[in-house]
């Protein structure tokens, strides 16, 4: 592998709190120097990053790659390619595939498929319960040994408080977080969007904010009881943000993520029965959206995670009640976050890179999140001023179920490096591993 000098860019590194012009020298898959006017040595290739931002590669704690089982929607390879195109160097794949990832063999399969794809790093998340049935604990230890970095029954909330308690206790042996899709199934039953005036007008059954909040509250109580690390998936309500804020004040080991779509959209996006805006948890009120932004700013919500959920267009071309829930997010996350958080001045660019790279890498103990000398060369280079309108044909994902298509955004990824290797380059049609 040839050495690479990324020169003249605006280099942002949240681990050192730095944001300014610098060169970054990469060799043998690692960062070997960061500084001014690093000379171009013999055999070193140059990547001119002038006018662009050079930052640690983005890290996403929550994606759904549909392999095994629904490879027509996404494979690990297509998902990892979409991740690289969105500037992500590491993603965590949820285990709700078919079959589910609830044993070491399945975890190993995800790891191997990701290595074969050679794009973004893909870290498996194992199930909390066997078959995601909510009854018997899966083998955390063997799954971790095979490469799992967390456990979750995502999309299926953990109903049994006893199971959640046990999971939070047992996971501590392996130092992994337990992450839950917090939703009370009885309160959410039959619901297809946020419970509020829009749902009332459209005649659609709502999911009250309380469906999320009662489970967040329960999980916090159990995290406090057990001392386990609770990670709250896709926080969507103001009440949940407040519960997490108070829990952190009390010293409970709770962390949380929010999605770009919950940052950018409200239940108004469902007007006209727009199935592109059907997600779980649902897009909520303007007050909830503001609380998510405030939570990301003050650190109550630690990071942004996309909940990238590929769906076929047939499944979206349905009555709203019948349509599949979910949006793809990997390739629009950065521009959406720039528009919602940096442009209005809620976060600095440094702050945003922290929420999209450094913080999530730290939460799950993943590679990346830093440009320090010696760190793996997982790097994103993006043009913060490039205006574009994402189209379905721009996406590398196999699915294009995004509510952001056709909207104008500023900020576009040009190159992504994983372990010093360029895995995405906008100026090159295809990069083979």
Partner 1 sequence: MTPTPLGKDLLGLEELSADQIRLVLDTAEAFKEVSERPIKKVPALRGKTIVNLFFEASTRTRISFEFAEKRLSADTVNVATQGSSVAKGETLVDTARNLEAMRIDMVVIRHPASGAAKFLGERIRSNVINAGDGKHEHPTQGLLDLLTLRDRFGRIEGLKVAICGDVLHSRVARSNIWGLTKLGAEVAVCGPASLLPTGLDRLGVRVIRRIDEALQWADAVNILRLQLERMEGGFVPSLREYNRIFGVTRERLARAGREVVVMHPGPMNRGVEIDSDVADGPASVILPQVTNGVAVRMAVLYLLAGGSPDWATHPAEDR
Spot the catalytic one: 60, 307, 354, 414.
307
CB nearer partner 1, residue 185 or residue 227: 185
CB nearer partner 1, residue 127 or residue 193: 193
Which one of residues 74, 153, 195, 288 is an interface residue with partner 1 (CB under 8 A)?
195
Task: Report the C-alpha gap between 49 and 43 in whole angstroms.
Answer: 19
| Of 234, 176, 183, the residue nearest 208 (C-alpha) | 183
333 close to 86: Cβ distance less than 8 angstroms: yes
Q: How far apart are the first and last CA of the chain?
A: 13
Active site includes 302? no
Residue 303 to residues 38, 76, 123, 292, Cα–Cα distance (Å): 33, 23, 17, 11
CB nearer partner 1, residue 76 or residue 193: 193
Is 273 a binding residue for partner 1 by CB under 8 A? The answer is yes
By CB neighbour count within 10 A (0-12 exposed, 13-18 middle, 19+ buried), where does 413 fall?
Answer: buried
Which one of residues 79, 196, 351, 411 is an interface residue with partner 1 (CB under 8 A)?
196
CB nearer partner 1, residue 249 or residue 319: 319
Q: Which of residues 296-335 bind partner 1 (CB under 8 A)?
A: 314, 317-322
CB nearer partner 1, residue 278 or residue 308: 278
Is 40 a binding residue for partner 1 by CB under 8 A? The answer is no
Min dist CB 399 to partner 1, Å, is 18
Which one of residues 108, 157, 177, 206 is an interface residue with partner 1 (CB under 8 A)?
206
Task: Report the C-alpha gap between 286 and 273 in whole angstroms.
Answer: 19
Is 378 a binding residue for partner 1 by CB under 8 A? The answer is no
Mark 154-193 with x for binding to partner 1 (rule: CB under 8 A) and - for no binding. Answer: ----------------------------------------
Min dist CB 198 to partner 1, Å, is 8
Task: Report the C-alpha gap between 330 and 238 in whole angstroms.
Answer: 25
Within a 13 Å sphere around the CA of 277, how many CA atoms are in the beta-carbon half?
19
Is 383 a binding residue for partner 1 by CB under 8 A? The answer is no
Helices (H), 127-208: 140-146, 161-170, 185-188, 197-202
Is 394 a binding residue for partner 1 by CB under 8 A? The answer is no
Is 197 a binding residue for partner 1 by CB under 8 A? The answer is yes
SS3 126: strand
SS3 101: coil
CB nearer partner 1, residue 247 or residue 270: 270
Q: Which of residues 223-252 bind partner 1 (CB under 8 A)?
A: none
List residues with catalytic annotation.
307
């Amino acid at each position: 592998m040839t050495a690479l000098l990324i020169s003249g860019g605006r280099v942002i590194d949240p681990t050192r709190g730095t944001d300014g012009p610098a060169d970054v020298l990469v060799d043998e898959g690692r960062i070997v120097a960061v500084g001014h006017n690093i000379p171009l040595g013999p055999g070193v290739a140059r990547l001119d990053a002038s006018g662009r931002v050079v930052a640690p590669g983005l890290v996403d704690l929550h994606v759904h790659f549909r392999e095994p089982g629904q490879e027509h929607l996404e494979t690990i390879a297509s998902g990892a390619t979409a991740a690289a195109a969105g500037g992500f160097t590491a993603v965590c794949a949820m285990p709700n595939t078919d079959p589910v990832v609830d044993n070491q063999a399945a975890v190993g399969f995800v790891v191997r498929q990701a290595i074969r794809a050679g794009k973004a790093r893909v870290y498996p998340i194992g199930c909390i319960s066997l078959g995601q049935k909510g009854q018997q604990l899966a083998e955390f230890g063997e799954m971790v040994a095979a490469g799992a970095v967390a456990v979750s029954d995502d999309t299926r909330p953990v109903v049994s408080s006893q199971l959640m308690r046990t999971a939070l206790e047992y996971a501590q042996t392996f130092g992994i977080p337990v992450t839950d899709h917090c939703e009370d199934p009885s309160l959410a039953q039959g619901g297809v969007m946020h419970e509020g005036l829009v749902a009332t007008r459209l005649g659609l059954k709502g999911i009250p904010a309380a469906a999320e909040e009662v489970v967040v509250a329960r999980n916090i109580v159990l995290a406090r009881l057990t001392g386990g690390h609770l990670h709250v998936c896709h926080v969507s309500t103001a009440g949940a943000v407040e519960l997490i804020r108070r829990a952190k004040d009390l010293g409970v080991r709770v962390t949380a993520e929010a999605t770009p779509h919950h940052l950018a959209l409200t239940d108004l996006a469902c007007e006209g029965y727009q199935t592109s805006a059907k997600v779980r948890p649902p897009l909520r009120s303007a007050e909830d959206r503001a609380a998510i932004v405030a939570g990301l700013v003050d650190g109550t919500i630690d990071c942004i995670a996309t909940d990238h959920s590929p769906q076929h267009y047939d499944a979206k071309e349905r009555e709203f009640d019948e349509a599949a829930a979910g949006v793809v997010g990997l390739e629009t996350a950065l521009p959406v976050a720039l528009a919602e958080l940096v442009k209005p001045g809620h976060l600095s660019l440094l702050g945003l890179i922290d929420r999209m790279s450094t913080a999530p890498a730290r939460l799950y103990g993943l590679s990346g999140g830093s440009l320090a000398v010696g760190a793996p060369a997982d790097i994103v280079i993006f043009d913060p001023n490039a205006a574009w309108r994402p189209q379905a044909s721009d996406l590398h994902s196999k699915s294009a179920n995004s509510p952001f298509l056709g909207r104008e955004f500023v900020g576009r990824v040009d190159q992504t490096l994983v372990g010093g290797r360029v895995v995405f380059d906008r100026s090159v049609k295809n990069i083979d591993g």
